Every structure is written in C-alpha cells, then in structure tokens.
Structure 1
Amino acid sequence: MLSKDAAAMDAVAETEEPSATLSKPVMKRFAINVASLFSVHVANMLLPLLTVPYIVRIIGPERLGLLNFSQAYIAYFTLIINYGFEMAAVRTIAANRNDKELVNRTFSEVLAGKALLWGLSTIIFAAVTWFAPEFRAHLWLHICTYISCIGIVLFPIWLYQAMEDLGRVAMFNLIVKVLFSLSVFVFIRQPDDYIYQNLSLSIAQLLISVVALRMAIKRFKVTFSWPSVEQLTKRFRDDSTLFFSALMITLYASSSVFLLGLLSNAYNVGIFSAGTRLESISRSFVSLALNQAFFPIVASAFGQSREQGLRVVRTTFFPLLIFMLVVSITLWSIAPVFITLFYGKQFQDAVQVLQIVALLPICIGVSNLLGMHTMLNLRMDRAFFAITAIGSVIGLGLNALFIQRFGYIGAAWAWVSAEAYIAIAMYGYLRYKGVQVIKRESLQEAVAFGRERFSILFK
C-alpha cells in the first residue's frame, strides 16, 4: 500500500502535464535521435543479414554457428570493457549538461576506465584462447572478432546519447557499415573464407569509433585528462552495481549461443542464431534504439522531480506494450517465409526458434521500461541487480537443463522464461515500494497525448 507521502506525490503527478518534459522541441529531437540510433542498429544487425543469403549458401550452418559463437565469446570481454560506465555516464551527463567540469571529468574517467579494462581483457582473452583447445582451434577467428573491442573503448556513443545528438555519428556509422558489409561479396568465395565476415565488422567498428571520438571532442568541446587513482577508484566503485547488473543480463541473454557451442554442436548454434536474428533486429528498435534515445529524456524528467519522471513513464507504458505486441505477432506470423527466404531450406529448423523468441519483444520491452527507465532513475540499482541476478541464475539453469535435452529449442524457451521472470519481478518490486507505473487511467491519456505528439512530429 502507498505511504501518505507517496500517495501525495502521485496525486501531484496526476495534475501535472508531461508536456513540459515532452515538449515539441524535445519530441522532434527525440524522433531524430530514434532514427539515428535505429540506423546504428540497422547497420550492426540488418546489414549482415542482407549478406546472409549469399554467405550461408557458401559456408553452411556449421560455419555460421562458429561466427556467432565467436561473437558470443567476445561479448563477455565487451561487457568487461563497458563495465556499466555508459549507463551511469548518460544518467549523470543528461541531468547536468551545463556543468562543463562534470562533463569533462566523466568523459575522462569513462575513457580511462575502459582503456584499463581493455588491457585486462586482452590478457584474459590471450590466456583463455591459447590454453583452451576448443578456442585455440579457431584462434584467428576469435582474434578477428576481438579487434572490435578496441572500437568499444573509443566509441563515445554514450556521450552523443547524453547530449541527445546522434545524427552525424549515426550517418557515418551507416555509410561505413554498408561498405564493409558489402565487402563480404568480394572476400568470401569459399567456405574457409568465413572469418572475413567478423573481420570486416571489426575493422568497421574501429574506424567508426576513431572518427566518432574526434567528432565528439570537437562538437562538445570536451577535454581529456588522465584521472587520478582516487577518481578512477570512485568511478569503479560507483558503477559496480550497474556492471554486475549488466553481467547478469549478459549471462542469461547472450549465453544461449555460448552454451550451445559448449554443450551441443555448431549446427545447433547456427540454427539458433538464424532463428533469433530477425527478433533481435525487430526488438532493437524499442529495446535498444528507442530506449537509448528515450533514457536521457526520462533521466532529465526525474532530475526535475520524481513525479515528473513517473508521469513520463506512465504515459509511455501502454503505447510501448501495444507496439511490442504487434511486433511479436508479426514475427510469429512471418517466421516460415522469412527463414526460407533468407536462409534457405537447410535452415527450416530455425522457424520454430523464431516463433518461440517472438515472445521476447513484449517481455524485454516491459522490463526495460520498468527497470532501466524507472528503477535506475529512482536509484534502485541494488534491487535492479538482485532481480537480474536471480533471472540470470534461472536462465543459466534452464539453459543447462534444456540444451542437453532439447538443443536449440530448449535454449529458446530458457531465454523467454528468464526474461518473463524479470519483467514480472520488476513490476512486483515497484508495487512493493509504492511505485505504481501501470494505471488504467493512463491508457486514455497516453492515446490522446500520443496522437498530439505524432501530429507535431509529422507536421
């Protein structure tokens, strides 16, 4: 039950309009940033997909599985390098853009922290890849994939995100990724050429990162100075909860491919990867592009007041839920046609995988709004970590159990089950703390508000 203070604040929130936070200029900037971020994810996910019909007919399901297994392996090092810096930096800078000293300090601490963690990751990568026979067997493939980690250190998309200025870097990202994605038609001519797929993506990521960093320094007039040991220690300590939360999310969301490679075979990895690719692209529009563009707006609203932030979240909930429901139904319906068209008849087993993971957009869209936008902005970092940690344990346990019995089908159901638990647990925790995000009366208001804002955008 809500406390008197919480009830009073909710009553105030009911009388406030979100128009101050979601004004015409903000919504137009938001639309530009959504389109820009979506182009980044199109480049990262859709462009490789456009080359799939050509590639898979040369390399086959097994080598496609090796490519995706290598990407899943390197994802753990990407996680270490990011550490949670980016989410914390966006949250800090978005609420304090005019504080030049704070922006410069955050910029320096994040780059320095990432550089140090890249050094640590490189040592771990070299040791594991060389001394583990199953990794050493594909040494050059993993090296080609790991090159992208240098780009992860340098790519300041978090700064562009916090400043709500993503257009230029997104356009450059799109052009470069198009060129490098098309290069596979030149370099992949026989099955053993498959490693060039990951190599081209890594080089593209590195090039984009260097140019984007130079543009950010010039555009936002930020300066880098190596932080003190005390500053770095504080940064690592303050962002540790977000890091462990991201670690838990990665363990259950990205480990399916990795565990399939360890507990099963490359064919199962290839089928699972083919079945989940379209879902990942579809979900990226909301769970990645839309969330990243929307997060600074919500952070700014919470910076004004708790009530204003919750008002924005409530206004967003029902439109998000309806949109993700449409996405899920569409994915389930087109699965047979899509798999046959893009992958060929040898990937027919991937149809069932895609129809299972079609449930993910709903689960992840809701959990992102409740967790990333609400819990993190309310500084419920520890509770966020605890829920994702339990979800990770559930996901890993179900993966270990289901993969050995059901292969790629078991991995798909394990992923969906973990995400469903997290969405339900986050809703339950917020209600327990007296934060009511979902209200029936918000539906009618969201429809009216959305109609008004869409009319503004299209004008």
Structure 2
Amino acid sequence: MKWLTSVIKNKTIKNIVSLSLVQGLNYILPLITLPYLVRTLGVHSYGVLTFCVAFNQYFLLFTQFGFNFSATQRIAKARQEKEQISKIFFSVLGAKLFFCFVSFVVLCILIILVPYFYNIKVILLFSFVAIVGDVLFPGWFFQGEEKMSNIAISNILARLSTVPLIFLFVNSTDDVARAALFMGSANVLAGIIAMIAVVKSGRVSLYKPSIKDIKEEIICSWHFFISSAAMSLYTVTTPVLLGAISGPYVLGVFSAADKLRQALQGLLNPVSQALYPKISRMIKEQDRTTVFQFIRKLLTVQAVFGLVVSLICCLGASVIIPLVYNKSGTPDVIAVFEILAWIPFVVSISNVLGIQTLLTTGYKREFSQVIITGGVVNIVLLCLLAFHFEAFGAALSILITEAIITIGMSRMIMKLKIPLFNR
C-alpha cells in the first residue's frame, strides 16, 4: 500500500500519466476522424488537405523556434524564481506572437504570387489557424514546471469539443476547408484554456518584456531552432516534396499510413516529454554517475517498448490498415505502413541518445550537426526514391534517415566521451 501511495504521489509518474491521456486522445481521435476524412473527402482531396497542413508546418516550426526545448529547460532550472519565470514566459510569448505575424504575412504573399496556392487559398488560411493556436498554447511552460496535467486538461477539453464538428459539417469532397478549420480550431481552444490555467496558477506575474529580453530568448533557442529546422527536412518536407513530385493521390496514400504510424509512435512521447525537464534538473543537482545510470535504464526500456510497437505495426499491417481505413487505398497504404512501422523502434533509441543525453548535457551544437546531416541525407534520398517508388520510396527514405541519425547520435556521444555507454 505504501508503494502504491508513493507511486501515486510521484510527480514524474503523474506527468507521464497526464501526457499519456493526451497522447491516448490524440491516437483515438485520429483513428476515428482520419478514416472518416479519407472516405468522405476521397484520397485526392485528403491529399490536398494534407499538403496544406504540411506546408503550414514550416510556419509552426518558425513560431515554435525551438522554445519547446530551450524555454522548458530554462523554466525547469528557475523553479524557485517567480520573477525570472515571468520574464521567460512573456519574452517567449512575445517572440512567438511576432513570428506568427511574420508567418501570416509571408503566407499571404505566397498566396498572391503562387497560382497553386491561390487556388487552395481558403484551405491554406484555415490550416494556419492551427499555428495561431499553437502560439497561444504554453505547453513549454507547463513542461518546465512539470505540471503536465494542465496540458492534458486543455487538450482533452478542446479536442472533445471540436471533433464532433467534423462529423456534423464535413460531408463531401467540397468540405475540405471546413475540415482544415475545425482541425485548427482545436489548437486555438486548447491555447485559450491553457492560458487561463497559467493565470490561475499564480506562478506568473505580469511582465512587459523588452526587445532585449525577447532577443535573449531567441538567442538561447537558436541551436534548438536549427535542429528543428533540420528535422523538418525529413518530417515536414517529406509530404510537401512528395506531393510536388507525385501528386495528391500518392501523398494521400503516404499520409494515411504515416498518420497512423505517428499515432502509434506517440505512445513513446509521454515518457520522453515528462523526463526531459527532470533529467535537465538532475544534471544540475545530482552527480553524473546517478544521472547516466538513470538514462541507461531509460534507453533499455524505451528500446524494448519501441521494438514491441514496431513489431505489432509491421506484423499486423494487413489487419490494422483495412480495419482503420476500410478499402480506401488499402494495398498501397499497407505496403507503405510496413516500412514506416520500424521507425518507432529507431526513434525510441535516438530520442534518448539525442534529446535526453546530448541536449540535457549542453551539447546543443553537436545535436544540431547530427540532425542537419540527417536532414540533408533525407532530401537527397527522397528526390531519388520518391521519383521512382513514390510513397514507398518516401517511407524508405525516412526510415534510412532515422537510422543514420541514431548512429550519428551514438557516435557523437562516444566522440564527446559522455559516459553513457561506460558503466
């Protein structure tokens, strides 16, 4: 009984459970809405929607600017300093709002100048609503405070409120713009709810950031942004480039498989997100031997769990895909999914090596170097493989890239003589 009580009171366990609830909802809802959208919109129109959402991810990357890592880490280290936390909070928020404004202006210019963008302007603009919502959502603050329950509550309330709108108002191929709007509105609602939670927490007092304060946060986050930008070369760029090379139908097939892969891979995220601020604090407060013993155990657990997820996905692809998507492009989606299925295992290892080890120990530049190398490799592979093998080639390109990044992270750790592999 004492053991159970200690587990319930453990903050890390609470955070993992809270994030698991969010991820669980993020898996369940796509499993409900994605098949409906693919069937209702058709693979071609769903491909157009995917392109618009994927393209706006560049603006998401810009507005986040790596603050999810840098601000989380800084808040975790300033736990007892309310004034410093307030300064970080409003400086980061100011930077994100400015980046959001710049992003919107750029999007409007592209819509005017690029004929294809002009033809799908409504879908692009409605997809941008999700970016506004992400700017408002202070997940980085709650993660640094290790109060993930606020993230869970905000996301759950928002998504449960907006998902029914998809089933009520998205009924044909002409409703693509509505689907984009409803998907984005969930982010806005979650952001509003989360901001209310920040005010009620009493952890932040009103602070007017100076330009110098905002520049300081941007500089602190620069290497994280470069890493995120490099990651986009094998995450965001893949669907955008595939759509340009092979067209909406092939992109629809790839996205149907990849969205399901991301949902299942997300089973690994709660542990990673909850432990990142904890390990950052441990590095500062405890001896390195204890910290690396903890990271080694985490590496083993995540690798085993990732392998189980990948095996289930690969071996069960022929059952999972028809069950989820009915008959919408089933044979092609299965073939792509069987390749993507191995990514959760590879990522479960690279996450611990990169984020939980290199970033928490301060090797931001070295982390960026590995990610940039992987991003460049993916662009080259994608252009070659997608041209010849379309969606199947794109899936293979991502898998090879993730494997190269994992090897690169392990080699960098050994090069820097970080005692992760030495007992």
Smaller-chain TM-score bracket: over 0.9
Look up the equivalent residue of 1:382 and give its one-letter code: R
2:379 maps to 396
Structure 2 unaligned residues grouped into runs of 5+: none
1-side partners of 2:227 and 2:202: how far apart? 30
Amino acid at match of 1:237: I
Secondary structure of 2:354's partner?
helix
Q: Supply the distance in 1 between the matched residues of 2:153 and 2:216 (Cα, whole angstroms).
A: 35
Counterpart of 1:143 (choices 107, 110, 125) is 125
Partner of 2:296: 314
SS, match of residue 328 in structure 2: helix
2:214 partner amino acid: L
**Residue equivalent to 1:182:** 164
CA distance in 1, matches of 2:183, 2:41: 17
Of 105, 112, 135, 1:130 maps to: 112
1:232 partnered with 2:218: no
> Residues 359 and 416 of structure 1 are in contact (CA less than 8 Å); yes or no, is this contact kept in structure 2?
yes
Q: 1:301 aligns with which of 275, 282, 285?
A: 282
Question: In structure 1, what is the Cα distance between the partners aligned to 2:83 and 2:96?
Answer: 20
1 CA distance for matches of 2:184 and 2:130? 4
* Aligned pair partner of 1:435 in 415, 418, 423: 418
CA deviations on 1:370-408 (whole Å, 9 max, x unpaired) are 111110111101101111001000011111111111100
| Secondary structure of the structure 1 residue equivalent to 2:174 | helix
Q: How does 1:82-231 map to 2 (within 5 A)?
A: 82-231=64-213
Runs of 4+ in 1 over 4 A off after TM superposition: 23-27
CA shift in 2, pair 1:424/1:26, >3 Å: farther
For normalisation by structure 1, the TM-score amounts to 0.87
Conservation of the 8 A alpha-carbon contact between 2:19 and 2:151 = no
Change beyond 3 A, Cα 1:186–1:398: same
Q: In structure 1, what is the equivalent of residue 334 of structure 2? A: 351
- Is residue 333 from structure 1 mapped to residue 327 from structure 2 by the alignment? no
- TM-score, normalised to structure 2, is 0.94
Q: Is the 8 A contact 2:38 2:328 kept in 1?
A: no
Residue number among 54, 60, 63 corresponding to 1:78 in the alignment: 60
Q: Partners of 1:77 and 1:376 in 2: how far apart?
A: 24
The separation in 2 between residues aligned to 1:176 and 1:85, in whole angstroms, is 23
* Letter of the structure 1 residue corresponding to residue 394 of structure 2: A
Q: 1:243 aligns with which of 221, 225, 228?
A: 225
- Quick one: structure 1 residues 108 and 177, their matched pair in 2 at CA, closer, same or farther if it must change by over 3 Å? same
Match of 2:233, SS state, is: helix
Pairing 1:374–2:348 present: no
Choose the corresponding residue for 2:273, options 288, 292, 297: 292
What CA deviation, in whole Å up to 9, does each residue of 1:56-96 have, x standing for no partner? Answer: 22211111111111111011000000101121111111122
Q: Secondary structure at the match of 2:420?
A: coil
Distance 1:165 1:408 in 2: 39
- Contact 1:84-1:242 at 8 Å conserved across structures: yes
In the alignment, does 2:46 pair up with 1:64? Answer: yes
Give RMSD over aligned pairs: 1.8
CA distance in 2, matches of 1:249, 1:215: 31
Report deviation, 1:53: 3.1
Report if aligned partners of 1:241, 1:385 keep a CA contact under 8 Å in 2.
Answer: yes
Contact 2:142 2:150 in 1 (8 A): no
Q: How far apart, CA to CA, are the structure 2 residues paired with 1:278 and 1:351?
A: 11
Aligned to 1:445: none
Which of 375, 381, 384 aligns to 2:367? It is 384
Match of 2:306 among 310, 324, 346: 324
- Aligned counterparts of 1:234 and 1:266: Cα–Cα separation in 2: 42
**8 A Cα contact 2:63 2:96, kept in partner:** yes
Give distance in 1, aligned partners of 2:404 and 2:70.
25
Query: What is the DSSP-based 3-state SS (H/G/I as helix, E as strand, rest coil) of the residue aligned with 1:438?
Result: coil
Note the C-alpha offset of 1:161: 1.0
C-alpha displacement at 1:220, in angstroms?
3.8
Offset at residue 359 of structure 1 (A): 1.1
Contact kept? 1:91, 1:299, Cα under 8 Å: yes
1:171-217 deviation digits (Å, cap 9, x = unpaired): 24213212311221110122111222221121121111012112112
Unaligned 5+ residue runs, structure 1?
1-22, 442-459
Counterpart contact for 1:107–1:224, Cα < 8 Å: no
Question: Offset at 1:353?
Answer: 0.9
Q: 1:91 to 1:237 in 2, by over 3 A?
A: same
**Distance in 2 between residues matched to 1:414 and 1:317, nearest whole Å:** 25
Q: Distance in 2 between matches of 1:26 and 1:310?
A: 25
Q: Tell me what 1:405 maps to.
A: 388
Deviations 1:297-333 (A, max 9, x none): 1111111143332222112111111111001000001
1:271 matched to 2:253: yes
Residue correspondence of structure 1 range 1-80 to structure 2 within 5 A: 24=6, 28-80=10-62
Report the CA distance shift for 1:42/1:76 in structure 2 as closer, same or farther (over 3 A): farther
Q: Distance in 1 between matches of 2:165 and 2:52?
A: 20
User: 8 Å contact 2:129–2:184 — kept in the other structure?
Assistant: yes
Count of residue correspondences: 417
* CA shift in 2, pair 1:249/1:72, >3 Å: same
Q: Is the 8 A contact 1:268 1:407 kept in 2?
A: yes
For residue 45 of structure 1, report the CA deviation from its aligned partner: 4.7
CA contact (8 A) 1:66 1:266 kept: yes
